[in-house]
Amino acid sequence: MKQKIFLSLILLSAISSLAAEPQRPHITGLSHIALYVHDLDQSRAFYKDLLGYQEPYSLFDTNGHVHLTFIKINDTQFIELFPEKESQTNSDQLNHISVLTDDAEGMRNYLASRSVKVPDKANKGRIGNLEFNVTDPDGHQVEIVQYLPDSWTTREFGKSMSDARISTQLKHVGIIVTNLEASKEFYCDILGFQETWRGARSTNQLNWVNLKVPDGSDYVELMLYTELPPPDKRGTAHHMSLEVDDIEKAKAALEAKPAFENYLRPLQIQTGVNRKRQMNLYDPDGTRVELMEPKTVDGKPAPPSTAPFPGIVNTNSATTNAIAK
């Protein structure tokens, strides 16, 4: 009898301990990608006049200059543009990536319990959302954001979404990774992302690993390198992917816009290693904007690569990563 009581107490203690551990809140998708831009007017012309997006609001510094402006993809996804300071010229254009949660403070507590460095609390930002930043193993800033009912984001629901938009969905963001295992520990083991596909250009070189958010369909694409390219050579690897139903129609829509006269790169449709049709554009700072269809050319999934990492031979240019995946 005493032994049963003792075992029961142990079981209750274990259950109590488990219940006391913070649980991970939902991560429902990508919120935004944030970029430094050298010339804000040129970037506006690219994202607004060519790609067809609108700019619902901006934030200004104490001198009245634009500190940050928002390019709206849909009600929950944005491209944030930060005018770069002189000291940032020729630097990495990626400022941060952001994922959307339903409980920012709960996520902060959970990450702290998993030994991730977090601030003392989630703060309400200038546009009214609850947010905080963490750093991934490669030094990328990852913003965790919760949209609040009284925020500018919520206020603008249903607005600033022109039918001229080239895409209505930010499907993935690509970031450079030099340690796959460390990144998978952070994104998968801690944040709950799930690996869905890995791709390679050859049988002995693993190049991409896709990690889907735990409670949605958006994903982060890990662009694998053995060493980081120079900061001003990362624009094709650090990228965003916008989903389009028909890549040929998207190409024709872009070519029909008056702003296309000022876009000097050729538009080339390719079928990637993932057997999806896609096309790359580049903003004025060289950041790659990938347009990609959601389905493979024959409706069959592309098999994942079994190639090992490390596999990419590092060069002084990230151009090779623009090859269609």
Confidence band for 232, pLDDT divided at 50, 70 and 90: confident
Nearest partner of 215 among 92, 74, 102, 56, judged by Cα: 102
Judge contact between 76 and 122, C-beta under 8 A: no
Confidence band for 316, pLDDT divided at 50, 70 and 90: very low
User: Residue 14 burial (CB < 10 Å; 0-12/13-18/19+)?
Assistant: exposed
Mean pLDDT, range 127-147, rounded to an integer: 97
Fold type of domain 27-155: 2,3-Dihydroxybiphenyl 1,2-Dioxygenase; domain 1 (3.10.180)
The 8-class DSSP code of residue 212 comes to E
In SS3 terms, 75-115 reads as CCCEEEEEECCHHHCCCCCEEEEEEEECCHHHHHHHHHHCC
For residue 236, the number of C-alpha atoms closer than 13 Å in the C-beta half-sphere is: 15
Residue 310 has pLDDT above 80, yes or no: no
**Range 127-142 burial, b when 16+ CB lie within 10 A, else e:** bebbbbebebbbebeb
Fold type of domain 170-322: 2,3-Dihydroxybiphenyl 1,2-Dioxygenase; domain 1 (3.10.180)
Residue 77 has pLDDT above 60, yes or no: yes
Q: Model-level pTM?
A: 0.89
Judge contact between 282 and 238, C-beta under 8 A: no
Mean pLDDT, range 289-299, rounded to an integer: 97
Residue 262 has pLDDT above 50, yes or no: yes
The pLDDT, as a whole number, for residue 309 is 77
Judge contact between 55 and 125, C-beta under 8 A: no
Mean pLDDT, range 249-278, rounded to an integer: 97
The pLDDT, as a whole number, for residue 230 is 85
The pLDDT, as a whole number, for residue 313 is 46
Q: Do domains 27-155 and 170-322 have the same CATH topology?
A: yes
Confidence band for 19, pLDDT divided at 50, 70 and 90: low
* DSSP structure string for 135-192: E-TTS-EEEEEE--TTSHHHHTTT-S--TT-S-S-EEEEEEEES-HHHHHIIIIIIT-
Query: Rounded distance, CA 312 to CA 227, Å?
Result: 9
Which of 6-20, 57-71, 146-160, 197-211 has the weakest average pLDDT?
A: 6-20
Which residues does residue 278 pair with via DSSP β-bridges, in sequence order? 270, 292
Token code pair at residue 103 = 């409980």
Residue 12 has pLDDT above 60, yes or no: no
The pLDDT, as a whole number, for residue 155 is 97
Residues 6+ apart with CB under 8 A from 297: 271, 275, 276, 277
Query: Rounded distance, CA 210 to CA 216, Å?
Result: 14
pLDDT, the chain, mean: 90
Q: Where are the domains of the chain?
A: 27-155, 170-322
Judge contact between 130 and 148, C-beta under 8 A: yes
The pLDDT, as a whole number, for residue 10 is 53
CA 157-65-51 angle, to 5 degrees, is: 45
Query: Rounded distance, CA 111 to CA 21, Å?
Result: 11
Mean pLDDT, range 302-321, rounded to an integer: 63
Token code pair at residue 233 = 């050579």
